[in-house]
Amino acid sequence: MFVHKMWNDNELSKMVQGGVPFPMLSDAGGRVGKVFGVFDEDAGVETRGRFIIDPEGVVQGYEVLTPPVGRNVLESIRQVQAFQLVRSSKGKEATPSGWKPGKTTLKPGPDLVGKVWEVWKTEMAFN
């Protein structure tokens, strides 16, 4: 925690105006990390785990990387936006591969079976 403050005051506040806005938690001993399956016992550190938790407390997605590779923050935000859209549609809409805000969603149902190819093209996964 004290190191969080040092990090925030001496470095992060130089990257983000006003410093980090969200809570920076301390998990000394990795007790929380063990429950989440992201604590590396041999190295004694947390790996780069990231969990998306919805307003009901339900885990909607997670990603875990070993320490040397950083995360794609925009991808995490995209996933949250996709889960928020699905939630606000009460499950009537789904976001296909490559979806981002503004792109076509799918309406799963009997009419869509075998017809995804008509409304979703392969290049939509990459643009």
Partner 1 sequence: MPEDMEVGCARPTGGPVGESVESEHLKEPASIREVTSMIQVGKKVPDFVAPAYQQGKFISVKLSEYLGKWVLLCFYPGDFTFV
Instruction: List residues near partner 1 by CB under 8 A.
Output: 1-8, 11, 18-27, 31-33, 35-38, 43, 45-62, 67, 70-71, 73, 76, 80, 83-84
Rounded to the nearest whole angstrom, what is the least distance from the CB of residue 99 to partner 1 in the complex? 17
Task: Label the pairing between strands 39-40 and 48-53.
Answer: unpaired
Nearer to partner 1, 78 or 124 (CB): 78
Contact 108, 94 (CB under 8 A): yes
Q: Which is nearer to partner 1, 20 or 119 (CB)?
A: 20
Question: Residue 119 CB, nearest distance to partner 1 (Å)?
Answer: 26
User: CA-CA distance, 83 to 101, in Å (whole number)?
Assistant: 11
The dihedral built from the CA positions of residue 68, 73, 77 and 82, taken in this order, carries a sign that is: negative
Minimum CB distance to partner 1, residue 88 (Å): 12
Determine the Cα angle at 74 with ends 5 and 49, to 5°. 55
> Of 100 and 115, which has the nearer Cβ to partner 1?
100
Cβ closest to partner 1, residue 3 vs residue 113: 3
Q: To the nearest whole angstrom, how small is the minimum distance from the Cβ of residue 32 to partner 1?
A: 5
And the tokens for 49? 């785990």
Question: Which residue bears the tokens 């885990």?
Answer: 59
